[in-house]
Amino acid sequence: MGKDSHDVVLVVVHTFREVATDEWIIRIISAWKATKDEISQYEDYEI
């Protein structure tokens, strides 16, 4: 989970792989606006 540029909490499902030293390919599989329960979880664990 994270926030977009408008401070909206999003849940993102992704995969990534290293193609070279310090070079990664990230694939976004799905993303959605967090539910109230997900936002609560995010806020509880936000660093």
Q: Positive or negative, the Cα torsion across 17, 23, 28, 31? A: positive
Domain boundaries, the chain: 2-45
* pLDDT band, residue 9 (cuts 50/70/90): very high
pTM of the model: 0.71
Q: What is the pLDDT of residue 34?
A: 97
- pLDDT at residue 45, rounded to an integer: 84
In the block, tokens 């999003």 appear at 10
Task: Give per-residue pLDDT as tens, 18-46.
Answer: 999 999 999 999 999 999 999 999 999 86
